[in-house]
Amino acid sequence: MVSKNEQEYRMQGTIELIERYLPLGKWNFRESSRYFDNKIYPIVIYDSQICRIEIFHHVIGRRSEKLIVVQYGSLEVPDKADSLRVNHKNNYHLYWHSIRFPLYFLDGLSPRKAYHEKDPIFIKEFKQSEVAREINYSAKKSLAMHAAIWESYGSRLFTLFDTSNTSLWRQYSTFIREYWKVLRSPNP
């Protein structure tokens, strides 16, 4: 069990790390929620006018932070929602999206082509970049990558999660559904 002091230390460290590496203000993100997963791992949610991001910091101890995961969702996604929900008809609903799906979609890949790609083009290029090579700490590298993605894709990325833009939301949702069909097919 983690003490309250340790929780506060972890949460504050997580928020400082996020705010140092992500240009939250530029995209009008404001903190809307913070809590712990399993009373150990800090999770911080930021909202803009059109979408939310959830940042999960897998922290083992004071000296051994491991990774940060940034996920994207619509404003309708509830706090503490699991990433994936399966209903009684075995249909999938993705609340939180890893960056891979939006990038595949924005890059114009088909769901089948996306399935066969290990990483989107931008992520492959970032991993080979001088910036990525200079950062040893994986959490900082992940945040730097998301900051670079935000700079490159701009509002196109965040607009994908704006459910008031029904046409784009429908196109993106169809892409995700088709991706899951490929994933479940016997010969993807």
How many other C-beta atoms are found inside a 10 Å radius of the C-beta of residue 96?
20
The whole-angstrom separation of Cα 150 and Cα 156 is: 9
The residue ranges of every structural domain in the chain are 4-184
Q: Say if CB 77 and CB 52 are below 8 A apart.
A: yes
Span 22-44, pLDDT tens digits = 999 999 999 999 998 877 788 99
Query: What residue ranges of the chain have pLDDT lower than 50?
Result: 86-88
The residue length of the chain stands at 188
Q: What tokens does 68 get?
A: 């940060």
Residue 73 and residue 54 in contact, taking contact as beta carbons nearer than 8 Å = yes
**How far is the C-alpha of 141 from the C-alpha of 133, rounded, in Å?**
9
- Cα-Cα-Cα-Cα torsion 119, 122, 127, 128, nearest 10 degrees, comes to 120
pLDDT at 92: 55
The predicted pLDDT at position 8 comes to 86
As a whole number of angstroms, the distance between CA 117 and CA 131 comes to 23
State how far the Cα of 128 lies from the Cα of 154, in Å rounded to an integer: 21
The pTM of this model reads: 0.88
Read off the tokens for 48. 């803009």
CA distances from 164 to 34, 76, 78 (A): 26, 11, 17
Helix, strand, or coil (residue 118): coil
Q: How far apart are CA 136 and CA 105, in angstroms?
A: 30
Copy the structure tokens of residue 147.
Answer: 């900051």
Report the Cα 26 to chain-centroid distance in Å. 18
Q: What is the pLDDT of residue 80?
A: 77
